[in-house]
Structure 1
């Protein structure tokens, strides 16, 4: 298995893993290109076949006196093809994202997980945080 940053040539595989319908592919490809600086996709390949993807959103908080660079990350859309699950692919993708976060000196990396994946993220170095608050429209 190889885990690497995805490139332009991977957009079709990214769309397929995300379940993007063919009629929406051009808009999806445009979105990926337009967000290349802030939404970084990583793919896992086996024998040249993309079997999983994970995205790292890199965003910035407002600077303060003691910290002008307040970039952080958020894990988004981790997906592994069903036939390839439970082989460590998701963990390898998350490890690649966290390596990128270290390289970029991000303050922290968050993830908004579905209930089924909470244990996965806990096993891969994430923890619950008491200060995270969430507002959702009614």
Structure 2
């Protein structure tokens, strides 16, 4: 298995993993190109086929007196094809994302997990954090 940074050339495979309709592929690829500096896709390939992907959002926090250069990450859209689950694909993608986070000196990395995936993220070094709060608008 190879895990690598993805790009616009991977748009079709990434769109398919996300369940994005083919007629929206051009708009999806345009979105990827426009957000290439902040939304970093990582892909896992096996025998030349993309079998999984995960994204790292890299964003800057407001400067503080201690540091004017404060960046953090957020893991998004981790997906592994069903037939390749429980084979280490997700763990390899997370290792690549967290290595990128270390290289960039990110303050922290968050993830908004489904209940089903909490144990996966915990196995990959994430912990529950008591200070993370969430606000959601009322339904219309």
- In the superposition, the TM-score normalised over structure 1's length comes to 0.98
The number of equivalent residue pairs is 138
> RMSD over aligned Cα, in angstroms?
0.6
Query: Separation in 2 of the partners of 1:133 and 1:56?
Result: 20
| Correspondence 1:96-135 to 2 at 5 A | 96-135=96-135
Q: Secondary structure at the match of 2:62?
A: coil
Structure 1 unaligned residues grouped into runs of 5+: none
Query: Separation in 2 of the partners of 1:49 and 1:22?
Result: 18
Which residue is equivalent to 1:48?
48
2:15 counterpart of 1:4: no
- In the superposition, the TM-score normalised over structure 2's length comes to 0.97
- C-alpha deviation, 1:65, in angstroms: 1.2
Q: What are the Cα deviations for residues 54-89 of structure 1, in whole angstroms up to 9, with x where unaligned?
A: 000000110011111110000000000011001010
Q: Is the 8 A contact 2:5 2:42 kept in 1?
A: yes
Structure 2 unaligned residues grouped into runs of 5+: none
Superposed structure 1 runs of 4+ greater than 4 Å apart: none
Query: Separation in 1 of the partners of 2:7 and 2:68?
Result: 30
